[in-house]
Structure 1
Amino acid sequence: MNSEIRLRKAQIDEKEKIWNILQQAIERRRQDGSSQWQQGYPNADTVESDISKGFGYVLTVNDEIAVYAALILNDEPAYSTIEGAWLSNGEFVVVHRVAVDAKFAGKGMVKKLFDHIEEFTCSHGIQSVKVDTNFDNTAMLRILESKGYSYCGEVFLAGGVRKAFEKIII
């Protein structure tokens, strides 16, 4: 059976479902021994803010939400200061708050998410995708490596140091 997978903007009436997915991800990070997302961020207000600003996106499988992510154009103040160097200074898409529903965990959904983000980036004529993650988020680090993202250095975000990556799309 072929699943229909698509990326679309999240709707405000989906905020409870999305917050539930983020809570699952927060708990998985905790069980993995990570400090990422363990200080009350992201939270339900973050989700509502993302959606109302048009940053909230969902990857759906047969219309069921599998992954949530915030996609922000050209706007991440923390990225203006990097210990290291970005690959480019052009327009970029920032990927934040990637969370997979437990039902879809371990099925390569985040790689599919990045495929869709890269298509979105290209179709909007945007130069690159920038993303950061915690040092101890081995799952995301492996995904970024497998998708060809380059390690650019460190950024300071949400009270901690993060590894920063970029991939030139066009």
Structure 2
Amino acid sequence: MEYIFRKATLDDLPPIWEILQDAIKRRKEDGSEQWQDGYPNPEGIKKDIAKDAGFVLTDGNTVAGYCAILINDEPAYAEIEGQWLTDGDFVVFHRVAISQHYLGRGLSKKILNCIEDFARENKICSVKADTNFDNPAMLGILEKAGYVYCGEVFFRGSSRMAFEKVLSA
């Protein structure tokens, strides 16, 4: 199958929100506190799309995955308890979710590869991310993809594990 990674449009909002609702439910079923506080939500996804930060992975006309990608736009990362690997420009990604109909097909890895390609296209060699301590699925994905644990950052009153990957040119 050939998947396409592209900027999301408002027409993509209904399937994106369905994917995120399923992911929120999976996090809860896994016993995770992540995404159990009203975030993410449709308003946030609309904001991602409005600032050209929302991206979808599609299979034909079907949205199979979603993420937000930003450049140098994560204020919480300035206050890390720990040390980033680099101090320059960085790409950060949030809200990675795969449709429940596409789980187990390696699409999280595919999205991370697309995010890294986005960084390279923008001449940036650092990709940063964070996740909850109780999200073993994402922790495993980050580890397999070569991300290095750098410390803790804080969002909405809770601590999150912060990771960075330095890309080769």
* TM-score bin, normalised by smaller chain: over 0.9
Q: Which amino acid aligns with 2:15?
A: K
1:1-170 alignment runs, 5 A limit:
3-169=1-167, 170=169
- The question of whether the paired residues in 1 share the 8 Å contact of 2:12 and 2:63 is answered with no
**Displacement, 1:6?**
2.1
1:71-112 Cα deviation digits (max 9, x unpaired): 011010000000100000111111101111100112111001
Runs of 4+ displaced beyond 3 Å: none
Provide the rounded CA distance (Å) in 2 between the counterparts of 1:6 and 1:129.
21
Determine the C-alpha separation between the residues in 2 that align with 1:70 and 1:60: 15
Aligned residue type for 2:124: I
Equivalent position amino acid for 1:148 in 2:
G
Partner SS, residue 162 of structure 1: strand
Tell me the SS of whatever aligns to 1:29: helix
What is the rounded CA distance, in whole Å, between the counterparts of 1:14 and 1:98 in structure 2? 15
Aligned residue pair count: 168
TM-score by structure 1 length? 0.96
* Inter-partner Cα distance in structure 2 for 1:106 and 1:159: 32
Question: Partner amino acid for 1:81?
Answer: E
| Structure 2 letter corresponding to 1:162 | R
- Give secondary structure in 2 for the equivalent of 1:6: strand
Q: Whole-Å Cα distance in 2 between the matches of residues 75 and 151 of structure 1?
A: 20
Q: Give yes or no for contact 2:72–2:89 (8 Å, CA) kept in 1.
A: yes
1:159 Cα offset (Å): 2.6
TM-score (norm 2): 0.96
Paired with 1:14 and 1:60, the residues of 2 have a C-alpha distance of: 10
Would you say the 8 A contact 1:6–1:116 is kept in 2?
no
Identity over aligned residues, as a percent?
Answer: 54
Structure 1: tracts of 5 or more residues without a match = none
How big is the shift at 1:32? 0.3
